[in-house]
Structure 1
């Protein structure tokens, strides 16, 4: 059996596993079944591309556990018409998934090398509805606000105020909030008159969000 077929089988096995853990959004599952995670992991971890675990990237960053990617994507409740702001491009894997489920993705990565690699991977998949910016994701991308959805893939010490301000009324913000060792995955809905409703999806562990509205450094 060739490696491509091996990966296809592993990808389908992962989808089955995700279904068993409670991922029920068929559109999310369909996209996860088509995006080649092996393209987004370091060459030395190719054999683990479909293990349900986070894997290391350059510069102390990680590609998130597939189950967490699925949970966060499902929490966004995407219809396909949204403009999405992603904080933390990383490998580009989550970006690719969002691109298949939304109208346009604006993604911010503070590491130029990771941003460049992610853009190359997205280009290989002929993904064109993504714009990547190298900068401080904790303050968002005001030029293109408001966004119907915002996804933060790093741990924030608090809900970033500037991201709430850039969220459209009725929009959803998904963000891990807590200290640098453990967080709560929170879904914030922006209501009328600046009010918000917060729902917790449970505990999680992410690398820290570094920036003006995040942590000053990785402790």
Structure 2
């Protein structure tokens, strides 16, 4: 009667001939070790360490592009560096999060380009350091990305969203960041938010034919308001309103493209 063989038989015999038990360190029980090591090395070369979406390096490259495009406010750039934009977009679009492009967030709304976010916040800040920029009103929370950036450059941020599903989504996405100086409000952004007025800065993420009077009324003396406005040619341009000495001074800036400004809640 033949005895059942136990494999790997040749390795056991070789180990007995050596006078020692087989050990993993000898490589005898791991005949695929070199192949696995080679595959591991190949994977490491294909995906260098530190280049994931959570990496500071990825966001730093985005910030360097913003600086090359003309953004000069270092406080704004520092805030853009800290906020992980990929967490505010759909997972299927995460690999595009740090490209300079707007992306859909549902309900026919978008998250603005990083360059537009940085530019609008820079205009609204007017070079003021975070300690001197007090209360800011954001019209159109969207997914919450710009609100997160604003919370790093202002002492307090009030962000209003008229679409309930987006308001709820932003609350969920912002919760892990624990930004205690950020308040999200579900309401009609065209009305601003009078209970916390006046505001040192107002920034709008939707554009209409004119600026609502409520926004101007809620802008503090010395405050700055940035919003897209429909131009006579039919496109949109960024408009900066400065509240100086009891009057409003308007300057026009570059062309942009935002979703239409609407009233009411949904």
1:146 and 2:198 aligned: yes
1:34 to 82, 85, 92: 82
Aligned to 2:137: 85
Q: Say which SS state the counterpart of residue 127 (structure 1) adopts.
A: coil
Deviation (angstroms), 1:42: 1.2
Correspondence list, 1:36-51, <5 A: 36-51=84-99
CA distance in 2, matches of 1:170, 1:27: 20
Q: Is the CA contact 1:182–1:206 (under 8 Å) kept in the aligned structure 2?
A: no
CA distance in 2, matches of 1:70, 1:96: 12
Q: Highest Rg: 1 or 2? A: 2
Deviation (angstroms), 1:211: 1.0
1:127 and 2:175 aligned: no
Q: Say which SS state the counterpart of residue 105 (structure 1) adopts.
A: strand
1:97 to 129, 136, 149: 149
1:73 to 112, 121, 140: 121
1:206 and 2:258 aligned: yes
TM-score after normalising by structure 2: 0.76
1:185 and 2:248 aligned: no
Q: Say which SS state the counterpart of residue 57 (structure 1) adopts.
A: strand
- Matched residue count: 211
Q: Say which SS state the counterpart of residue 133 (structure 1) adopts.
A: strand
Aligned to 1:24: 72
Aligned to 1:5: 51
TM-score after normalising by structure 1: 0.91
Deviations 1:41-83 (A, max 9, x none): 1111011111100000110000000000010011112432410
CA distance in 2, matches of 1:90, 1:74: 19
Q: Is the CA contact 2:75–2:129 (under 8 Å) kept in the aligned structure 1?
A: no
1:59 to 103, 107, 112: 107
Q: Which runs of 4+ in 1 moved over 3 A?
A: 1-5
RMSD (Å) for aligned C-alpha atoms: 1.8
Q: Say which SS state the counterpart of residue 249 (structure 2) adopts.
A: strand
Aligned to 1:217: none
CA distance in 2, matches of 1:167, 1:74: 17
CA distance in 2, matches of 1:135, 1:66: 25
Q: Is the CA contact 1:152–1:174 (under 8 Å) kept in the aligned structure 2?
A: yes
Q: Runs of 5+ in structure 2 lacking a partner?
A: 1-46
Deviation (angstroms), 1:2: 7.7
Deviation (angstroms), 1:5: 3.5
CA distance in 2, matches of 1:167, 1:2: 48
CA distance in 1, matches of 2:191, 2:69: 33
